[in-house]
Amino acid sequence: MAEFWAKGAELGLKGKQLTEFVKSQERLIAQGQERQAQREERQMELKRLELQIEMETKRLELQTEMVRIQNEYEAPRQRDNQQQMLHRAPKLPAFADGKDQIDCYLARFERFAESARWQRDDWAIQLSAHLTGAALEVYTRLSNHDARDYDVLKEALLRCYNFTERGYCQRFRECQPLSGETPSQFVERLSSYLQTWIELSGEEQSYESLWDLIVKEQFLNACPKDLATRLEEQKLRGLKDITDAAGRYLIAHGRTLGTSKSTKPFQKSGNQGNQPVKGQTESAPSSNEGQNITCFHQELDD
């Protein structure tokens, strides 16, 4: 500090000016010392970070080496376990065309493949070895690329056996009790067909959506086949979209939806007293009177 007073005196400073000069020099010295301390602190922090990084790197290297050693030890044992599991597992039977249901068979195949820990990329070729009949024809008609894709093969098989939205609708409509099937089992099967039909339709499970689904299905059944096919190709969902598209199709082809010129009045079966329906004339009884008449449901086209 004496140096600053002497230096100030040499510069000709006196009194208040000299005092201010000394104080400014002291502030400069203090600031320099503070910056030096900050630099030293940053250097120490950098060294600590470098040490932490070095230690973390060594820890990761050690962990990686331990995993490698563990894998080398356990991999042969896992392979042996898998081979033993495959030897113990029952052999997957081939698909019996005309006997097995393709959706059930695919579900069993997928569970078998997962249990055997097959790579999904190999599922298609593994499945092809178990296909017969029409299912095998579906596989052979796929391109080489699609034949290696299990999802593509599965979709093609389901479509071939009519396991589609329309197919499940048809199954629900035409379902009959099987031999030995209990009422609860029959209802469960009906419910399963209906549930799958709704899921494949993409409709929400609400009152309005189910209303549209049922009316849409009945509308397509009642339409001329070429019109119904055209509407299904467009994959329309909403009932209004379907009716609008049907109207445009009929206008473009100069046709109407109905084919009959008149509609017969509705008459319940077992009319009391066999009275004629209002608007109809009474006719002589037919030769089939008194016989049981069976109505066969026409098979729906996919």
Q: Is residue 248 part of a domain?
A: yes
Q: Tokens 């005196």, residue?
A: 9
Residue 76 lies in a domain: yes
Q: What is the pLDDT of residue 143?
A: 93
- Amino acid identity of residue 266, one-letter, is F
Domain that holds residue 243: 207-255
- pLDDT given at position 141: 93
Radius of gyration of the chain (CA): 42
Q: Residue 13: phi, psi to the nearest 5?
A: -85, 140
Residue 261 domain-assigned (yes or no): no
Domain final residue pick, 87, 115, 131 = 87
Burial of 25 (0-12, 13-18, 19+ CB in 10 A): middle
Percentage helix, strand, coil, to 5, in the chain? 65, 0, 35
pLDDT of residue 135: 93
Buried b / exposed e along 183-218 (16+ C-beta atoms within 10 A): eeeeeebeeebbebbbebbebeeeeebeebbeebbe
Contact in structure between 218 and 243 (CB atoms under 8 Å): no
User: How much is the pLDDT for 132?
Assistant: 92
Would you state the pLDDT for residue 260? 54
pLDDT along the chain (302 residues), means of 10: 70 75 78 84 89 89 85 68 52 88 89 88 92 93 93 90 83 85 84 82 78 81 84 80 87 79 47 44 43 41 42
Taking residue 126's Cβ as centre, other Cβ atoms within 10 Å add up to 16
Q: How many residues does the chain have?
A: 302
Q: Are 163 and 102 in contact (CB under 8 A)?
A: yes
Packing angle of the helix pair 225-233, 207-222 (nearest 10 deg): 140
pLDDT computed for residue 300 by the predictor: 41
Q: Structural domain tally of the chain?
A: 2
Packing angle of the helix pair 165-174, 183-201 (nearest 10 deg): 150
Asked if residue 296 belongs to a domain, the reply is: no
Q: Which of 64, 87, 110 is the last residue of a domain?
A: 87
Please give the pLDDT value at position 150.
94
> Residue 66: inside a domain, yes or no?
yes
Is 80 inside a domain boundary? yes
Determine, yes or no, domain membership for 266: no
DSSP 58-93: HHHHHHHHHHHHHHHHHHHHHHHHHHHHHHHSPPPP
Structural domain contains residue 276: no
Joined tokens for residue 210:
């189910």
